[in-house]
A and B are shown apart, each in its own frame.
Chain A
Amino acid sequence: MSITIAVTGLHRGENPQPGYGVIRSLRRHSRDLNIIGLVYDVLESGIYADQGADQIYQFPYPSAGAATVLGRLDYIHHCSPIDIFLPTLDSEIHLFVGITEEIQKRGIRCMLPSEESYQARSKSNLGQLADSCRMQTPLSETVGDVDRLVQAAARIGYPLMLKGQYYEAYKVYSQPQLVDRFHDIVLRWGAPVVVQRYVEGPEFDVVAVGDGTGGVAASCSIRKTILSEKGKGFGGITISDERLDELAFTVVRELKWQGPIELEFIQDEVTGEYYLLEVNPRFPAWIDFPAACGVNLAALVVEALWEGQMSEIPACVPGKFFLRHSIDLLCDIEDMGTLASVGEWTPLSRANV
């Protein structure tokens, strides 16, 4: 029996989203899937990529509100009954956490954290979370206006990191640069913004799936080997570090996290101490990399939602690496036109014709 899975976040540009990687991971696991791509923009590149979604529907931005989003979900669910819903973007997860029951009432299964867990890992609560877990995090302050921004920067010192509540992070060296970047971030993602002490050292990522009771069903740890200007990991290598895993698992346990989670750490190059940088409530953009190594976390989530049990899978073997590789997709304006005007599109190569 074919399962229909709806996935968001299909763009793979400069700031790549996880959805297309999730789809590729699912296709590695099973060919008998009907994948629906829910997109906010007709230029999300994954819409037009090979091995992408079987059907594409435009979807309202979270800012449209729960009623509008649920209304659109109802329409899509009526056209193509959805079994499982996998949202992948920071900016939308909070909305879906709030309407999890509404989604489930429609017979759509999803694996999302509780509101309490979601809030406890937010950037503004990271210090408290790190304290609870007895680990380090760089000194941070959350600010909403320029006056407080400048005061926080004076306390923390330069250079520092300036981070949006969902996306964007910049290393800032001076007050003029600080104010410019603050306005950039607020214009794009809104306030508040996090001012964080800069720690010099290599960055590490752990992706995991929490079982909702404090356990970790599976995980993969990498050292980021290539960072983009925006701090995105454009290359990484799998590692096996019990100390790092223990820190990550402690956070998952403390949060009693349910579903996908990404934990970002930086290691102080002088002391060797790990600092918790961010806890993201979703898979990372490189999620298909561990799947290619045999640790298919997206498939694990689907299996748990579909079969009601989450099997444990071994961690990634160290020494596998990925490099992000950009290519140009050939697209036809007619396809984009259909999607833009009708709000839905079935790629011909994937249609049952």
Chain B
Amino acid sequence: MVDISRLQQLLVNDNGFAFDPNTGLTYNISLTGLDVIHWLKQGHQDSEVVELITEQYEVDRETAERDYNGFLATLHSYGLFSAGDSGGI
């Protein structure tokens, strides 16, 4: 089960500066990452996010999957995303 509760709490401005009110940590997020967080917060599933990346950034599915999984791993390492058994593609 994917848990995005911490991601939902993340305060992000339009320029990609993010503050985690739980830990006090701040991050600089790329514009692509911003889009991914936005889509995840909207409730999109993994396959839908990958689809949106391929459309928005005109990359092939394989590239989109690799970048998406890498980004999820980064979010996970900061405790912002808990993938459980089914996170990522």
Q: Taking beta carbons and an 8 Å cutoff, which residues of A are in contact with B?
A: 202, 204, 222-223, 225, 236-241, 272, 318-319
A222 to B25, CA, bound (A): 11
**Contact yes or no, B79 A319, CB < 8 A:** no
Knowing that A241-B22, A241-B23, A319-B21 touch, tell me 8 more A-B residue pairs with CB under 8 angstroms: A223-B23, A223-B25, A238-B24, A239-B22, A318-B21, A318-B24, A319-B11, A319-B19
Q: Interface 1/0s, chain B 1-33, versus A by CB < 8 A?
A: 000000000010000000101111100000000
A240, closest chain B residue (CB): B21
A-B contact pairs, 22 of them (CB 8 A): A202-B23, A202-B24, A204-B24, A222-B24, A223-B23, A225-B24, A236-B24, A237-B24, A238-B24, A239-B21, A239-B22, A239-B23, A239-B24, A240-B21, A240-B22, A241-B22, A241-B23, A318-B19, A318-B21, A319-B11, A319-B19, A319-B21
Return chain B residues, CB-CB under 8 Å to A240: 21-22
Sorted from nearest, which 3 A-B pairs have the closest CB atoms?
A223-B24, A318-B21, A239-B24
Within 8 A of A (CB), among B75-89: 79
Question: Distance (Å) between the CB of A157 and the closest chain B CB?
Answer: 28
A237, closest chain B residue (CB): B24
B25, closest chain A residue (CB): A223
Question: Distance (Å) between the CB of B46 and the closest chain A CB?
Answer: 25
Return chain B residues, CB-CB under 8 Å to A237: 24
Question: Distance (Å) between the CB of B66 and the closest chain A CB?
Answer: 28
B24, closest chain A residue (CB): A223
A107 to B61, CA, bound (A): 77
A272 to B77, CA, bound (A): 12
A225 to B26, CA, bound (A): 11
A10 to B72, CA, bound (A): 49
Return chain B residues, CB-CB under 8 Å to A238: 24
**Contact yes or no, B24 A272, CB < 8 A:** no
Question: Distance (Å) between the CB of B81 and the closest chain A CB?
Answer: 15
